[in-house]
A and B are shown apart, each in its own frame.
Chain A
Amino acid sequence: MGSYKLDYLDQLESEAIHIFREVAGQFERPALLFSGGKDSIVLVHLALKAFRPGKFPFPLVHIDTGHNFQEALDFRDALAEKIGEKLIVRNVEDTIKTRGLTEQKGKLPSRNGLQTYTLLDTIEEFEFDACIGGARRDEEKARAKERIFSVRDEFGSWDPKRQRPELWNIYNGKINKGENVRVFPISNWTELDIWNYIRREKIELPSIYFAHEREVLEFDGRLVATNEFITLHDDDVVSRKVVRYRTVGDMTCTAAVESNASTLDDIINEIIATNTSERGQTRIDDRVSEAAMEDRKKNGYF
């Protein structure tokens, strides 16, 4: 010490911890939305720093689409067990049955839109007033304009025109009955910040983030892991390749990248050298329209 200067990762960490504690201080029934992806794993790590030696003032909640990678699910269960915190899992499959929802058809049927229904049902079931998520503003332009405390109505809708001004480090979490707040503690982190932090803090990740051999389908210039949810045709090009995942979402809408990066150092070097954005390279669901994320958020998506 002595110089009293904080490194940029320390500054980001301190800001995120502050946001976590504001949630704990302002809400009755918060939840941490946990997906098994790297951003939500970083959230758990930050929550440990914010609240230990106490327990988390919220459960971990996973909305399982049924299309998740097994590696991510195993990791999720092991992590919850290791830190001794409560994990609540709700399944999109159940919502589809009880609500009679119609699944997407086509080659890569995505449950991305359907998981909003399960999320809203889960919020209602547990009366959650705040849901903490790992969205970052550098991911996408709709996210770039969303507040750290983002108030949603009972349909979960985000209304960009009715956002509350967010000044200094003061977060207004006051809500009326039926409303809830989505909270994004790592709003100001970039993809590279996340990876640098994971390396510095030696945070464990699911194995699929590192290079491994996998059978993949080449589809529209992307590599999609073959799995039971994808319908293959005779003219499809399927091969075994060494790949890793840059983001982890549903198997049907997340693409792998060809890579030999087997360590965090390798991954960070690859990200520094890459010329494609994280979502652009790996998210099939964003390509549908230019305003895809904006539309999903208005419908209650994260």
Chain B
Amino acid sequence: MDILRFLTAGSVDDGKSTLIGRLLYDSKSIMVDQLEAIERSTKNKEEGRVDLALLTDGLRAEREQGITIDVAYKYFSTPKRKFIIADTPGHIQYTRNMVTGASNSDLAIILIDARHGVVEQTRRHSIIVSLLNLPHVVVAINKMDLVDFSQDKYNDIVIDYSQVAASLGLKNVTYIPISALNGDNIVEKSTAMPWYEGGSLLNVLETVEVHEDINLTEGRFPVQYVIRPQTEELPDYRGYAGKIISGIYRKGDKVVVQPAGIESTISAVEVGGQEVEEAFAPQSAVLHLADDIDVSRGDVIVKQDAPVQVAQEFEVVLCWMSNTPLVPRNKYMLQINSRNVRCVVKELEYKLNVNTLEKELSPVSAGLNDVVKATIKTASPIAFDTYKNLRANGGAILIDETSLVTVGACMITTEPQEKPFWPEI
């Protein structure tokens, strides 16, 4: 049994809350007392049916203003998997929430109303999914009951969306015709759509292969904390505590501590306080090095056979998340895994329209929910990877130096430069 983290993109009108409610309800994750609370709220509405959308109903602060503030996390499990849903509001002003939810997800469910097909919002959600490089996409074509379960309607939408997916380079796209309200193709295959040959939504979520998304070839170990007991029994113990974000580490492996570039060898690997032969992503571990060198929080212990990029200047796609606009030349703190350095955002190359993919060149500033391409210069070098190649070491956040709030999400786009080939003389 493993974990699948997924994001649902769509608005209330697309039936997103109903879909989540349906998944929770049909997987028996809703308890009687929670259902009773919903039934109380439903009483004054339409007769009969429990409003499953209310299961995802939020805080009083939200109800009072009739909005969804934020990402809510929901949990359910089946004998095959534990599921973590990042439920994010879908309206345009909430790009920042969708980016947040997508950053931790393996899969996105993009909801399309069968009556309306691919609309502007569908494109916006898909662009964000593509920017965050989610490895799997499920396109759930909802409200099939309102189009008489029409195969033609479904096929038209699949053709339309395939063009969107191709233009964005989306990977592993699966299409499912559903009715969240009635439960068609949610847990069980629907008898109303015998022409559909794929599995139900839950079946797809249970079987999508996410283990292969973990990079086990390029070793990256950001050091979080140094364990030094300095006791009589362990006077010289010095363990580097962190989480392996990619790759496999074994005793005897050659490593480079970046960004300083100091070479050493792994002398021991520990997991949960026990020495082990090897440890792999995404395990938390303690590494020991053969050489007495200076290693501290913020350094990355990199496997020598898979070099990382080390630089002070690089390009990013940046989603701005603050009401205070981003102005070029402003200084911020940049945090990538455990490393925190001061930085300056240099020129903004372009602003991306997330509905049309059009680029506005050389914008003077970026506001809340804007997506821009920018160059960042840091006060000291950082060790990073291209986000598209290694998500775990290519994403960074920007922190305002005075409010200390997280104001931006950066996806590094700089590719490693080809090493010039010097013929041996």
Residues of A within 8 A of B (CB): 1, 4-8, 10-15, 17-18, 21-22, 24-25, 48-55, 57, 137-138, 141-142, 144-145, 160-161, 163-170, 172, 174-176, 187-188, 190, 192-193, 274-277, 280-281, 290-291, 294
Which stretch of B55-63, B193-201, B251-259, B359-367 is in the interface?
Answer: B55-63
By the criterion CB–CB under 8 Å, are B72 and A49 in contact? no
Identify the closest chain A residue to B228 (Cβ). A54
By the criterion CB–CB under 8 Å, are A165 and B406 in contact? yes
By the criterion CB–CB under 8 Å, are B395 and A167 in contact? yes
Within 304-337 of B, Cβ neighbours of A (below 8 Å) are at 321, 333, 335-337
Q: How far, in angstroms, from A275 to B245 measured CA to CA in the complex?
A: 38
Q: Cβ of A7: which chain B residues have Cβ within 8 Å of it?
A: 1-2
Q: How far, in angstroms, from A144 to B278 measured CA to CA in the complex?
A: 36
Q: How far, in angstroms, from A127 to B79 measured CA to CA in the complex?
A: 45
Chain B 66-90, CB-CB to A under 8 Å as 1, else 0, gives 0001111111010001101000000
Which stretch of B44-52, B95-103, B137-145 is in the interface?
Answer: B95-103
By the criterion CB–CB under 8 Å, are A25 and B406 in contact? no
Say whether B425 faces chain A, with CB atoms less than 8 Å apart.
no
Identify the closest chain B residue to A201 (Cβ). B272
Query: How many residues of B sit at the interface, in one of the four size bands?
Result: 35 or more
Q: Cβ of B237: which chain A residues have Cβ within 8 Å of it?
A: 53-54
Q: How far, in angstroms, from A1 to B2 measured CA to CA in the complex?
A: 16
Q: Cβ of B404: which chain A residues have Cβ within 8 Å of it?
A: 172, 174-176
Identify the closest chain B residue to A289 (Cβ). B60
Q: How far, in angstroms, from A209 to B60 measured CA to CA in the complex?
A: 33
Residues of B within 8 A of A (CB): 1-3, 31-34, 37, 57-62, 69-75, 77, 81-82, 84, 96-97, 99-100, 103-104, 211, 214, 216, 224-225, 227-229, 231, 234, 237, 239, 241-243, 245, 248, 272-273, 277-278, 280, 282-284, 297, 321, 333, 335-338, 391-392, 395-397, 399, 404-406, 409
Identify the closest chain B residue to A14 (Cβ). B284
Give chain A nearest CB distance to B105 CB in angstroms: 11
Contact of A294 among B60, B229, B273, B399 (CB under 8 A): B60
Q: How far, in angstroms, from A170 to B382 measured CA to CA in the complex?
A: 15
Interface hub of A166, A187, A291 (most chain B Cβ within 10 A): A166
Q: Cβ of A17: which chain B residues have Cβ within 8 Å of it?
A: 243, 284
Q: How far, in angstroms, from A149 to B239 measured CA to CA in the complex?
A: 25
Identify the closest chain A residue to B410 (Cβ). A167
Give chain A nearest CB distance to B329 CB in angstroms: 22
Q: Cβ of A53: which chain B residues have Cβ within 8 Å of it?
A: 227, 229, 231, 234, 237, 273
Q: How far, in angstroms, from A17 to B229 measured CA to CA in the complex?
A: 18
By the criterion CB–CB under 8 Å, are A161 and B69 in contact? yes
Q: How far, in angstroms, from A18 to B222 measured CA to CA in the complex?
A: 11
Known: A1-B278, A170-B395. 15 other contacts (CB 8 A): A10-B283, A14-B283, A18-B242, A18-B284, A51-B241, A53-B229, A141-B58, A144-B73, A160-B70, A161-B61, A167-B103, A168-B392, A172-B335, A188-B73, A277-B34
